[in-house]
Structure 1
């Protein structure tokens, strides 16, 4: 696939449903070029659209990723980890999964605390945490929240298949963020991929 369709897919993954005009501007191509590329992606089953009424005039056509489109952003753990988690639960019991999650959490906490140790304040800690998560494949970013504080947004979950099998991984990450950002932070999950949202997002506020 050429770079332009890949950029369109990336924009839909990272920014959610959009019009062709918005996508064209983000990818520095003409609206006509965006329409042409989106039609080709639709024919491949990677994107779909719906029309939204906007009062007088023609409705807006909103483009979004299909499940196949989301699948272009691979799960780094894949089926093998899902199978291992299932077998661990079946043969060793739920406590075995708790032990595995705790070990993963301990290792991640050590790394995150090390990276966050040089951050001067909460805002910088959120930015550093977002960068660490981005490097881990979560397409993470930090941005100011509308009502104050910061949003830690993760547009992709590279462990989604594993988290679906073992939702303790998600509970573990929320607690991990809280501990690593420190007692002067309050962390709340506001969007959750496994609950039907298109991404995971966390609101970080001063405690």
Structure 2
């Protein structure tokens, strides 16, 4: 996988200025600009100007589709072909049955790791750990509204675009393992064109 600290930072944080990248990575502004220019020439990074208040617009850098492609989509071409073949030969109902089986397996697998934990934040932290282990580059933050679970990468993106039932199944798994007393809403969705998938998690008030 052709990634380095620059691409990883843009993947996990979104569009940034050269100065912000330099500060995050502990390098000079000039060093950051030179590296970003190299990635721009390679087609991995693009830039745009945006006004952030008083003064001249600032230049921001973000990953291009080619840059995002440096982060693997697990067996994407084969998976898409298999999904299309199953849908054509066996029908939509058979495909849904496969998704249902996958969902149930996910519930059992995640529940086994989360069941010893009673505290909600501990459960969310463990869920983020599991998802990162599976390639989703997950992390969470806590604020006054509850928690935000963020997945900066989707290793099954091609399959999810072909059949969004996989995304629905994942959300169902999250709701199951975190419990009925918790609400989960998807705020951002990579399949819909967002940079990341993000889920707002909060305790349901009595």
Give the drift of 1:30.
0.9
State the match for 2:129 in structure 1: 131
Please tell me whether residue 183 in structure 1 is matched to residue 180 in structure 2: yes
Cα pair 1:140 1:152 within 8 Å, conserved: yes
Runs of 4+, deviation exceeding 4 Å: none
Give the drift of 1:6.
1.1
State the match for 1:11 in structure 2: 9
Q: Equivalent of 1:154, from 151, 154, 159?
A: 151
Measure, in 2, the Cα distance between the counterparts of 1:38 and 1:108: 39
Give the drift of 1:77.
2.6
Q: Aligned pairs, how many?
A: 204
Give the drift of 1:17.
0.3
Cα pair 1:155 1:200 within 8 Å, conserved: yes
Cα pair 1:185 1:206 within 8 Å, conserved: yes
Please tell me whether residue 172 in structure 1 is matched to residue 190 in structure 2: no
Task: Tell me the TM-score normalized by structure 2.
Answer: 0.95
Aligned CA RMSD, in angstroms, stands at: 1.5
Give the drift of 1:58.
2.8
State the match for 1:27 in structure 2: 25
Measure, in 2, the Cα distance between the counterparts of 1:54 and 1:192: 25
Q: Secondary structure at the match of 1:57?
A: coil
Structure 1, gaps ≥5 residues long: none
Cα pair 1:77 1:162 within 8 Å, conserved: no
Structure 2, gaps ≥5 residues long: none
Q: Equivalent of 1:80, from 73, 78, 81?
A: 78
Q: Equivalent of 1:112, from 110, 113, 133?
A: 110
Q: Secondary structure at the match of 1:156?
A: coil
Give the drift of 1:163.
0.3
Task: Tell me the TM-score normalized by structure 1.
Answer: 0.94
What is the 5 A alignment of 1:191-202? 191-202=188-199
